[in-house]
Amino acid sequence: MLPYNFDLAGINLKYAMAQPITRLDAGEEAYYFFVSPKGMPAEYAFETATLGGIDAGSAFVREAGGLTIVAPAAGAGEAIRLTSNGGAGVHVVTFTDEESLCFWQANVWGRERAVLTDANLLVSGDEVKLEATDAEEVTLRVFPDFDGLGDIAGGELLSRTEEGLFTAYRFRLPRREIKFALERAKDDRAILSFAADALDGVKEALLRVDYRGDIGYAFIDGDLIGDNFSDGNTWELGLKRFEERLAKDGMYLYISPIRKGGTVNSNTTMAGWSENAEEMIAELKGISAVPVCELVLKRS
């Protein structure tokens, strides 16, 4: 959805070639966050009569038909600063499509904040938790900035830098490797064995299975604990909740085949039928396990 005659705290945005995400108030100024979808260069047309001032940075600005048209480069590092006729300060931030997928808005430590991170963000009381999958570093960009950081658990702070509107915190995570023994019974089935301490020190472990076939099945001691209907993507299965059973009984994977060129024969004297196929496709292409680590930031 693209905005038309959109009120920006007293400034009329006649139209925009960017999609609005949210508004955030900080101090006495308003911050509007937009995303520039792939293939659509961002452009904002402000009604000039409602503008008291503009600082567009490196963006291209032109006047036409009573409009001030601004074409910024997408990216969280630079904002357009506007002033209304009433003196209100307004900032317009344009995210790239990729940045928008990492955007979070949450009340963190008593204040509404905008956050950019590709980790999962969990806020609980005086703790901020970041869940990162198969990563040795995680970056958290936040606006407005924290007043300070208290204890950090599950990693260490490497750097704190200013990136335009945002403050970026970069953390190192401890390296974890999920090990298991793999025995391939056939192309379409395998047996996995895990040591008792294989999943120690991680919040979760994801088994990643790449395969060709119809349906993937995972069993522990004969019990079906997960399945996946093939859609061309990697099958991911959480292991942590099965930690004790995996150490004791391991896991058995089986891929049921896709049948190509199949025919069904029901020409029998009984109510039976048989199915024949020219080709049966079932193959385990790759099996790996990756850690999900948790970084915990505490309020200072």
Residue 246 main-chain phi, psi, to 5 deg: -65, -40
- Give SS3 for 45: strand
Query: Using one digit for the tens of pLDDT, what is the confidence trace for 177-186?
Result: 999 999 998 9
| pTM of the predicted protein model | 0.86
Q: Is the pLDDT of residue 63 over 90?
A: yes
Residue pair 4/14 in contact (Cβ under 8 Å)? The answer is: yes
Q: What is the mean pLDDT of residues 271-292?
A: 83
The neighbour count for residue 240, using CB atoms within 10 Å, is 14
Residue pair 210/227 in contact (Cβ under 8 Å)? The answer is: no
Q: Is the pLDDT of residue 269 over 70?
A: no
- Give SS3 for 224: strand
d(CA 133, CA 142): 20
pLDDT at 1 (0 to 100): 86
Give all domains of the chain, ordered by start, each with its CATH number.
Answer: 4-98 (2.102.20.10), 108-175 (no CATH), 181-261+276-291 (2.60.120.260)
Query: Using one digit for the tens of pLDDT, what is the confidence trace for 84-122?
Result: 999 999 999 999 999 999 999 999 999 999 999 999 999
